[in-house]
Amino acid sequence: MGEPVVELHAITKRFPGVVANKDIELTVHRGTVHAIVGENGAGKSTLMKILYGVQQPDEGTISVEGRARQLKSPADAIDAGIGMVFQHFQLADNFTVLENVVLGAEKLHGIGDGARRTVQEISDAYGLDLDPDVLVEHLGVGAQQRVEILKVLYRGARIIILDEPTAVLVPQEVDELFDNLRELKAEGLTVIFISHKLDEVLSVADAITVIRRGTTVAEVAPKDVTARDLAELMVGSELPSPSTEESTVTDLPLLSVESTSLDNPLGGRPLLTDVNLTIHSGEIVGIAGVEGNGQDELVEVIMGIREPTSGRILLGDVDTSSWHTREIREAGIGYIPADRHRYGLLLEAPLWENVVLGHQTEPVYVTGPGGTLINGAAARQEAEAVVEQYDVRTPSIHVTAGSLSGGNQQKLIIGREMRREPKVLVAAHPTRGVDVGAQAAIWDHIKQARRAGLGVLLISADLEELVGLSDTIHVILRGRLTGQFDPDRVTKEELGAAMTGATATEGAA
């Protein structure tokens, strides 16, 4: 193992209301692939943003290749030899590979033959297999990712951070990426690899650091641990189990999705193909899948945000496929969107207005002739109730939603939906980014409502949550429901295999 190239000591970063990172200790050695694993919201991304100069730590020291560094901006990080490949690519589709690589780094090798030669050399040296003159829009996702890696190398990076690089890849592309990573480390480069997929981490990493609730809890070698050990380290023993008690499932169907398909307006593979599922009163139906396999679209079709190309959505026995979102919400479907900032909140509006959002036509919030006026007093009263019952930590209901921490924003959304006593709750990642205590409280609220007959469609990236809460689990893969599992019997490995469309052993090869 080479000498240490990145050393983080006692890194702490606070955001209003939360501590994102606390006393982080991390040492990465030259020529290794170093994985950083942790659950969603554990603080991995904040840590990497600190290392890439996007955010500055409140405490702690960073040294790169033996020199103490103050990384005040990405430019400083690049200067120190650190490059980052983000999960969401930052490429111009209508530019060639060469143009994308050179963009913003014209000073290094010009924009002509010198640049082309360098791009070709790097591509050959690390087996990236990229033609400099191909338009990026003609490349697959895996190749686009390699363009991002090439960009970073072109700028002289010796330490490359990859943020959840496999989230967007199919299994075969994952294998190719791992081959590339092995090439990189063979050439003496260092890779920091962020993931929460344990099988992948075990197959590619030389060292693994586990982050839990914002702090580093262990550093282990992959040969010494199993996926199960890692999962335990990530989750921690104090995590309350979401497991449901006795079944409350009835045979009264509340919401049925019948052979529903949704074409991709941009062409290509349909976003949803022949989806069938039924949610009964008192039942929690979980959807497991790698992000971007149609979960968002399924939710949007049910909520009336998109109209399905074919098929029917039934609420009870009423066809709601052509209903508008407002009618669907009025009919008693609660909605917890995956992206609370974009779809769940008005960040610059006060909390009490956010409590009304999505329920503007509910009798409790309206007044006047025909319910055309908003009843501000009632809305504020409800907001106070939500804040109290759902433990939203805020000094008042008049502060803007944007000034709350993420976990408290999520509790506000949960509270506003649950207070209206929905018949069906469509919940996408209901506990993403909330702390452990709040997570348990949210689970309790959902379980309680379920006993009273609530039907839930639960979409989650947290398998623990899915297995623990659900009565039935469907796996979604490329827009199709590819398997149904009983959460009491299924193992995480089986689910993981079904989610990627491969078997567990192949995935780890």
Partner 1 sequence: MTSRFDLRRMGMALSAPILAIIVAVLVTSAILVAAGDPVGEVWGTILSVPRPRVVVAIINAAIVYYISAVAVAIGFRMNLFNIGVDGQYRIAAFAAAVVAGEGWLPGPLNILLGLVVAMLAGGLWAGIAGLLKVYRGVSEVISTIMLNAIATVLVAFLLRKVAPQTGSNIVSTKPLPESSHVSGLPLIPGVSREVYGLIILAVLIGVVYWFILGRTRFGFDLRATGRSESAAVASGVNVKRMVLLSMILSGVVAGLVGMPLLFGQDYAYGTTFQPGLGFAGIAIALLGRNHPVGIVFAAFLWAFLDQQSNALQITAGVSDRLVLIIQGVIVLSVVIAYEVVRRLNVRIEQRRVAQALAAQAADVKEGAPA
Binding site for partner 1 (CB under 8 A): 16-17, 303, 305, 324-330, 335, 337, 342-349, 353, 356-361, 366, 368, 371-374, 376-377, 380-381, 384, 387-388, 393-400, 402-404
User: Among residues 42 and 366, whose Cβ is nearest to partner 1?
Assistant: 366
Return the H-helix or E-strand segment holding 388: helix 376-389
Give CA–CA dist 364/343, Å, rounded.
23
State the nearest-atom distance from the C-beta of 354 to partner 1, in Å.
Answer: 9
When the beta carbons of 140 and 437 are compared against partner 1, the nearer one is 437
Q: Give the strand pairing for 159-163 and 190-195.
A: parallel
Taking the least distance from each CB to partner 1, the nearer of 358 and 507 is 358
By CB atoms closer than 10 A (0-12, 13-18, 19+), residue 123 is buried
Cβ-based nearer residue to partner 1, 211 or 366:
366
Instruction: Classify the C-alpha dihedral 88-89-92-94 as positive or negative.
Output: negative
Shortest separation between residue 49's beta carbon and partner 1, angstroms = 18
Nearest approach, Cβ of residue 265 and partner 1 (Å): 13
- Least Cβ distance, residue 324 to partner 1 (angstroms): 6
Nearer to partner 1 (CB atom), residue 388 or residue 421: 388
Q: Which is nearer to partner 1, 10 or 377 (CB)?
A: 377
For CA atoms 20, 22, 28, 34, give the dihedral sign. negative
Least distance (Å) from partner 1 to the CB of residue 351? 9
- The alpha carbon dihedral of 13, 17, 18, 19 has a sign of positive
Q: Shortest gap between Cβ of 365 and partner 1 (angstroms)?
A: 8
Side chain identity, residue 25: E
Tokens 């606070």 label which residue? 14
Nearer residue to partner 1 within complex by CB, 389 or 482: 389
Torsion angle, alpha carbons of 466, 213, 43, 429, to 10? 20
**Which residue intervals of 10-167 are DSSP H helices?**
44-51, 74-79, 97-102, 106-109, 113-125, 141-154
Q: Tell me whether residue 163 or residue 417 sits nearer to partner 1 (CB atom).
A: 417
Q: Which residue has the tokens 């930052």?
A: 90
What's the rounded Cα separation, in Å, for the pair 463 and 461?
6
Contact status, residue 174 vs residue 181, Cβ threshold 8 Å: no
CA distance 199 to 478: 21
The closest alpha carbon to 274, from 290, 255, 261, 292, belongs to 261
Residue 31 or residue 371: which is nearer to partner 1 going by CB? 371
State in angstroms the smallest separation of the CB of 59 from partner 1. 17
CB of 196 vs partner 1, minimal distance in Å:
26
Contact partners, residue 318, CB within 8 Å, separation at least 6 = 331
Closest CB 332 distance from partner 1, rounded Å: 13
Q: What single DSSP character describes residue 369?
A: G
DSSP SS3 for 199:
helix
What is the closest distance, in whole angstroms, from the C-beta atom of residue 13 to partner 1 in the complex? Answer: 14
Which is nearer to partner 1, 280 or 359 (by Cβ)? 359
Cβ atoms < 10 Å from Cβ of 193: 26
Given the DSSP bridges, would you call strands 67-69 and 59-64 parallel, antiparallel or unpaired? antiparallel
| Contact indicator for 333, 302 with CB cutoff of 8 Å | yes
- Find, among 238, 212, 292, 231, the residue nearest to 493 by Cα: 231
In angstroms, what is the minimal distance from the CB of 412 to partner 1? 13
By beta-carbon proximity to partner 1, the closer residue of 193 and 352 is: 352
